[in-house]
Amino acid sequence: MRADLRLPDLPDARHVTVGGQDVAYLDEGAGEPVLMVHGNPSWSYHYRHLAAAVAAHGHRAVVPDHVGMGRSARPAAGDYPFTYERRVEDLGGFVDAVLPDGPLTLVVHDWGGAIALAWAVRHPERVRRVVLLNTAAFPLPPGAGLPWHLRAARVPYAGDGAVLLGNAFVRGAVHLGVVHRMPRQVRRGYLAPYDSPARRLAVLRFVQDVPASPSAPAHALLAATERALPGLLAQVPVLVLWGLRDPVLDARILERWRELVPSAEVHAYEDAGHFVLEDAREVVVPRVLDLLDRT
C-alpha cells in the first residue's frame, strides 16, 4: 500500500520498487548526490529542511523512506522480514536503482547510521563524505544499556500494545527527542504516517531489533560494521553533529565515535536532543553545506 501523504513543507514523493516493495523517496535538486537515511520512528520528513537547503546549494538531495515507514509500502508481518539485514539490502537495492554510480555523501540519523554504514563498508568506493547526526553503527558500548522507554516498548504483549495500539513510541519520540518543543504542525508531520496500528508495525520491529546482547539477531552485523568503520571513515571527511541531551544515544555513543574516527570534525550542542535537526537546524544545516563546499 502506498501512503500518499501531502504536507505543505514536503515535496511529493517519487517511487521505485526495491525487493518487491514500493519505496517512496524525495529527490530534489541536481548535482553530486547527498543520500539522507532516516531512523526510527521518523521518515523523510525529518530531512525536509536539510534536503531543501542542499538542493538549493547545487547538490541532489535523495531521501528514501524505509519500507513500512513514511510514504513507502506497508507490508504485513508475514510479507516482509523487518530485519536489520533486510534494511541494508533494501538500501543497496535503492542505491542501485536511483543512484547507480558515482560518489555520494551520506547523512545519517538514528537507525539510518547502522543501515547506511553497513552498506557503505561494503561499497567504500561510493562514499565521498559522511555526516553523523545522533546515530550509532556499533553494538552498545560497555556500561551502556537500553534506555527505559526502549525497554518498555520491548516488553512482550504490553510493549506491542503500547507501540501499535497507543502509538506510544512515535508520540513519545516527538516529545522526548527534542529539547525545544516541536510546533504542533511539525509534531503532526512526524506522526502523519503512523495513524493506525497496521501502519506502526515497522516502528515496533525496529524497536525489537535493537541488539541488547551479543545473542540478538542484529548484533553480528553491527559488530562486523564496527570493525570495518575505521578503515572506511579514515579515508573520507566525517562530520559529527550531535545533540547532547539525547535520551537514547548519550555521551557514551558520541565518545565511541571519537574513538572510531579520531579525524572526525565534531560539533556537540548542549541545547539539542536526539532530533538535532529540529533543535539546532540553524547551525546544523550550515555546517553540512560548508562540508559540501570545502571537501
Question: What residues are labeled active site?
Answer: 110, 246, 274
Residues 6+ apart with CB under 8 A from 7: 45, 189, 192
DSSP secondary structure string for all residues of 251-288? HHHHHHHHHH-TT-EEEEETT--S-HHHHSHHHHHHHH
Query: Exposed e or buried b for every residue in 249-284, given b needs 16+ CB within 10 A?
Result: bbeebbebbeebbeebeeeebeebbbbbbbbbeeeb
Between strands 21-28 and 14-18, the pairing is antiparallel
165 touches 196 (CB < 8 A): no
167: alpha, beta or left? (left if phi > 0; alpha if psi -120 to 50): left
245: its cell numbers: 541531551
Sign of CA dihedral 63, 112, 169, 79: positive
- The most distant pair of C-alpha atoms in the chain lies apart, rounded to whole Å, by 51
Helix, strand, coil percentages (3-state) for the chain, rounded to 5, are 45, 15, 40
Partnered with residue 36 across adjacent β-strands are: 107
